[in-house]
Structure 1
């Protein structure tokens, strides 16, 4: 149990340092990851930036993710779920385009540009405040890898023991402080899991 995201970031930073992880760049997934990513970037003496992705919702159930799309349009699709639900390809493509646009708008709000941070040839640590299904993390990792990062590490304070192993193919290393049994939601492992506003999250980038 973490007191808040800042404490979780300190513990994650300690674990990464203990494991000898080195980074040129730490990227947090807005909004909740920025308070976690700041102490990680400070500890690893790395730049801090953002990587943005958003979930694609299923028809008539936006909370059910059939995939996720990063700001550059790169996507991860849950093809098994898409087939099981009988989702038409036209819907998936339309949802991908709309979700990519939304992710670009979020990126622009943080960086002032549609262009993601330059990761080419750099060692990159992707940070989130936790992993439940891992949909958004997959899309972010795919984008970072696809844009030429030398090494990609996913780092989270807490993650589902069912979902985290499925992320191994998307990163060179996956690091989590806790992978507790009985995982239901990320927020259950934080005493303070209040929503982070965009303004608050941007403050972590400005330090």
Structure 2
């Protein structure tokens, strides 16, 4: 997210003073959490933490009490999730989609990074026209779109995964192609054949 300056507010005086070095963290687990926070703090140019007293937190307390009173007559359901590992323990993550090299993005990246154009004059002209609408940020290709922030460009494998997630994933509603494409754009992704690929993939959806 490229955040350089972070200011945190907590309602725990103990947590705030432990981070500030005023209080000592004696428990081994708390020491591990404190060490992890200190490690993360180094990634910011500046980091401050402030304890918010109860007298200064009246609005949040009032909202929490109001919510409990308003919905007291409704049936409550408590969802419990068992965490197998603490957040302070090292974990390995693997990308769901491998990097794709020879995609529609390659000629544009070569022109933006190295100034290389295809030998075919027509293709070279197309790249010159498309290039100003693209930009490389954090080693990824982005495209400027109408009335939206920069959209991240993706290859065929990533595009297929995005369509499936939008259509039949956790938040998917098995919507039509036009709705799916609009949702993908709002999520910040782009590739040239978005509508065609969405139509083709949705035809294989058995529930639809």
State the structure with bigger RCO (CA 8 A, min sep 6), 1 or 2. Answer: 1
Q: Which has the higher strand share?
A: 1
Name the larger-Rg structure. 2
- Same-fold call, TM cutoff 0.5: no
TM-score class, shorter? under 0.3
